[in-house]
C-alpha cells in the first residue's frame, strides 16, 4: 500500500490535469463511486476496466489513498525539471531574457491555466541533454514547443507547479515595471499604442487571476525595476 505522504511526489503533470478535470466536471458522473473509480484509475495508471476488475478490498485500499488529494501540495521551485536519464530542462527564472514572442504565448496559455500547465512550463525552460555523463545546454527551438510540452506532461507535478508559481510571481512584477518597454515592443510590430496598452493590461489581468498575490520582497521588485530602466535606455 502506498504512503499518502509521498503520493504528491509521484503524480505527473498529465495525471494532475486529469484529476483536476474530474473534480471540475463532477456533474457528468452519476455517483460518487464513479468519481472515486476514475480517480483511482488516474492516480494508479490503471484502465477503467482494470479498476472495475479489482477485488473490493483492494479497491477500498486504493480509494483510501485518494485522501492525499485533500492535503496541501507541498513543494518548492526547482532548478531542473527531470524527464529521464538523458534529458532534463533548466528553468529560466530570468524573465528579462525571455524572447518577446513567449510573452504572448504565456498570455494565451494562462487563460486555461491547469490544462495548459505543460505548455506554460515549456515556455520557461532551456532543454539539456546528457552525453557521456555531462549535461549540455541546447538552444531553445520554438518549433519544438510541442515536444517540450509533451515532456512536461511526464514531469513531476509538484516540481512544475511550484516552479511555475514562483516564475509567475517574478513575471508579474517584471511586467508591472516594464509596461512602457513592452508597449514599445508591440508598437514595433505595427500595433497602435492604444491596442498595445490594452494587450499589456490584459496580460497583467490574466496573470492576476492565475497566480498567487505578489510574494516577492520589495528589494526584488526594486532590482527588476533597475534592470528594466537599463534595458529601456538601450532601446
Does 17 fall in a domain? yes
| Domain, as residue range, for 217 | 80-233
Q: Is 202 helix (H, G, I), strand (E, B) or coil?
A: helix
Which residues share a beta bridge with 84?
A: 87
Listed residues 70, 90, 116: the one ending a domain:
70
Examine residue 92 and state whether it is found in any structural domain, yes or no.
yes
Whether residues 15 and 94 share a domain: the answer is no
Whether 36 is covered by a domain: the verdict is yes
CA 226 to CA 174: how far, in whole Å? Answer: 11
The three grid cell numbers given for residue 34, joined into one nine-digit string: 464513479
- C-alpha dihedral, 45 to 51 to 54 to 57, nearest 10°: 90
User: What pLDDT does residue 2 have?
Assistant: 59
Q: How many CA atoms lie within 13 A of 12 on its CB side?
A: 15
Rounded Cα distance, 85 and 52, in Å: 35
For residues 227 and 164, state if they share a domain.
yes
Given 25, 49, 70, the domain boundary residue is 70
Closest C-alpha to 93, from 191, 176, 174, 202: 174
pLDDT for the residue 231 = 38
49 and 89: one domain?
no
Bridging pattern class, strands 87-91 and 125-131: antiparallel
Question: Do residue 66 and residue 84 come from a single domain?
Answer: no
47 found inside a domain: yes
d(CA 90, CA 149): 14
Spatial contact of 127 and 174, defined as CB atoms under 8 Å apart:
no
pLDDT recorded at residue 189 = 80
| Total count of domains within the chain | 2
Same-domain status, 56 and 94? no
Looking at the fold, whether 93 and 64 belong to one and the same domain comes out as no
Is residue 115 located within the same domain as residue 193? yes
H-helix or E-strand spanning residue 137 = strand 134-137
Average pLDDT along the chain, 235 residues, taken 10 residues at a time = 73 93 82 92 95 95 91 88 94 73 56 81 91 92 93 95 82 72 80 82 60 38 42 41
- What does the alpha-carbon distance between residue 56 and residue 65 come to, in Å, rounded to a whole number? 14
Q: Is 160 helix (H, G, I), strand (E, B) or coil?
A: helix
What pLDDT was estimated at residue 208?
A: 53
Ramachandran angles phi, psi of 150, nearest 5°: -60, -40
Other C-beta atoms closer than 10 Å to the C-beta of 81 total 25
122 exposure class (CB count in 10 Å sphere: 0-12, 13-18, 19+): buried
Cell of residue 129, nine digits? 541533454
User: Do the domain assignments include residue 75?
Assistant: no
In angstroms, the CA 20 to CA 138 distance is: 33
Task: Select from 70, 95, 117 the last residue of a domain.
Answer: 70
Residue 53: what pLDDT? 95
C-alpha dist (Å) from residue 11 to 19, 42, 139, 215? 10, 9, 29, 26
Cβ count within 10 A of residue 28 = 8
Amino acid at each position: 500500500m502506498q504512503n499518502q505522504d509521498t503520493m504528491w511526489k509521484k503524480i505527473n503533470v498529465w495525471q494532475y490535469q486529469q484529476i483536476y478535470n474530474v473534480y471540475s466536471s463532477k456533474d457528468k458522473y452519476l455517483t460518487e463511486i464513479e468519481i472515486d473509480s476514475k480517480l483511482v484509475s488516474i492516480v494508479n495508471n490503471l484502465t477503467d476496466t482494470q479498476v472495475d476488475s479489482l477485488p473490493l478490498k483492494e479497491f477500498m485500499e486504493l480509494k483510501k489513498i485518494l485522501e492525499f488529494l485533500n492535503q496541501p501540495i507541498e513543494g518548492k521551485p526547482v532548478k531542473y525539471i527531470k524527464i529521464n536519464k538523458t534529458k532534463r530542462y533548466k528553468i529560466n527564472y530570468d524573465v528579462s531574457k525571455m524572447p518577446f514572442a513567449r510573452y504572448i504565448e504565456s498570455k494565451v496559455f494562462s487563460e486555461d491555466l491547469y490544462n495548459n500547465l505543460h505548455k506554460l512550463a515549456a515556455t520557461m525552460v532551456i532543454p539539456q541533454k546528457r552525453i557521456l555523463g555531462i549535461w549540455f545546454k541546447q538552444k531553445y527551438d520554438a518549433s519544438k514547443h510541442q515536444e517540450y510540452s509533451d515532456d512536461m506532461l511526464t514531469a513531476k507535478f509538484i516540481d512544475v507547479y511550484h516552479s511555475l508559481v514562483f516564475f509567475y510571481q517574478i513575471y508579474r512584477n517584471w511586467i508591472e515595471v516594464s509596461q512602457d518597454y513592452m508597449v514599445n515592443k508591440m508598437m514595433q510590430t505595427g500595433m497602435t499604442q492604444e491596442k498595445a496598452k490594452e494587450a499589456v493590461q490584459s496580460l497583467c489581468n490574466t496573470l492576476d487571476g492565475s497566480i498567487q498575490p505578489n510574494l516577492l520582497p520589495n528589494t526584488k521588485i526594486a532590482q527588476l525595476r533597475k534592470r528594466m530602466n537599463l534595458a529601456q535606455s538601450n532601446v
